[in-house]
Amino acid sequence: MAAVTLTNVVKRFGIFEVVHGANIDIADGEFVVFVGPSGCGKSTLLRMVAGLEDISGGEIAIGGKVMNDVEPADRGIAMVFQSYALYPHMTVEQNLSFGLRMNGNPKADTERRVRKAAEILRIDELMQRRPKQLSGGQRQRVAIGRAIVREPQVFLFDEPLSNLDAELRVQMRVEISRLHKELGVTMIYVTHDQTEAMTLADRIVVLKAGNVEQIGAPLDLYDDPANRFVAGFIGSPK
């Protein structure tokens, strides 16, 4: 069980409040996309779920357990960022296994997890290459692989495709959808790209200036936007 629940979550940086009491319920296995313009608080919300940012008020629970004071490593999550900082001097295989080795994970289990991730992402052939010998899409696959080997209950993606060209973005979108179906785990995906949100999400959370404007399935938002902002952002005529 890894439902994710945000209850009245507030974030302040100094005197500036940037998230104003967010309530978001994410079901176990659901693919939820946070979408909204730059600066609306998407990354901040995700970083609070990950534990990379303290929360100023409210509560975040994962799998029914309150996470407010739990270290990132103990939250059962893995995060994929836009800048996929791979270790340049390590092979793909070493990049995938590094975190597990550092945590003292048993060798046989580490090898099993790395093999499984490589298979899921179809990067078996690239295991002995170094990052500079990979294309952008291949590098992003390795970055996702590093999340997969941790066998998280919840995947967090922060604009993972922003650095890729348009064609590759579409291709990786399909890959991420497939990954979600194959692994069946909860995914929270942040983007400012409406098309990405509409095609990936089971449900979309539309954010504007630190407020949740509407939560719903893509077509429900399209057919019945709560307000002009949602209508304009999702692209329906209302």
Q: Which does 38 bind (CB under 5 to 8 A by kind): ligand ADP, Mg ion, none?
A: ligand ADP
Applying CB under 6 A, among 6, 32, 33, 40 the residue interacting with ligand ADP is 40
- How many other β-carbons are positioned within 10 Å of the β-carbon of residue 13? 11
**Window of 42-50, 131-139, 142-150, 228-236 that interacts with ligand ADP by CB under 6 A:** 42-50
Closer residue to ligand ADP, CB minimum distance, 44 or 194: 44
- How many other β-carbons are positioned within 10 Å of the β-carbon of residue 146? 25
Does position 13 bind ligand ADP by CB under 6 A?
Answer: yes
Q: Are 43 and 32 in contact (CB under 8 A)?
A: no
**Window of 36-44, 80-88, 95-103, 221-229 that interacts with ligand ADP by CB under 6 A:** 36-44
Q: Which does 120 bind (CB under 5 to 8 A by kind): Mg ion, ligand ADP, none?
A: none
Closer residue to ligand ADP, CB minimum distance, 15 or 108: 15
Q: How far is the CB of 57 from ligand ADP (least distance, A)?
A: 15
Closer residue to ligand ADP, CB minimum distance, 183 or 209: 209
Closer residue to Mg ion, CB minimum distance, 193 or 220: 193
DSSP labels for the chain? Answer: ---EEEEEEEEEETTEEEEEEEEEEE-TT-EEEEE-STTSSHHHHHHHHHTSS--SEEEEEETTEE-TTS-GGGTTEEEE-SS----TTS-HHHHHHHHHHHTT--HHHHHHHHHHHHHHHT-GGGTT--GGGS-HHHHHHHHHHHHHTT--SEEEEESTTTTS-HHHHHHHHHHHHHHHHHH--EEEEEES-HHHHHHH-SEEEEEETTEEEEEE-HHHHHHS-SSHHHHHHHT---
Does position 43 bind ligand ADP by CB under 6 A?
Answer: yes
Number of residues that bind ligand ADP (CB under 6 A): 10
Q: Are 44 and 53 in contact (CB under 8 A)?
A: yes
Q: How far is the CB of 43 from Mg ion (least distance, A)?
A: 3
Q: Which residues of the chain form contacts with Mg ion (CB under 5 A)?
A: 43
Strand 211-216 with 203-208, pairing: antiparallel
Closer residue to ligand ADP, CB minimum distance, 43 or 140: 43
Closer residue to ligand ADP, CB minimum distance, 52 or 85: 52
Does position 38 bind ligand ADP by CB under 6 A?
Answer: yes
Judged by CB under 6 A, the chain residues 63 through 102 that form the site for ligand ADP are: none
Binding site for ligand ADP (CB under 6 A): 13, 18, 36, 38-44
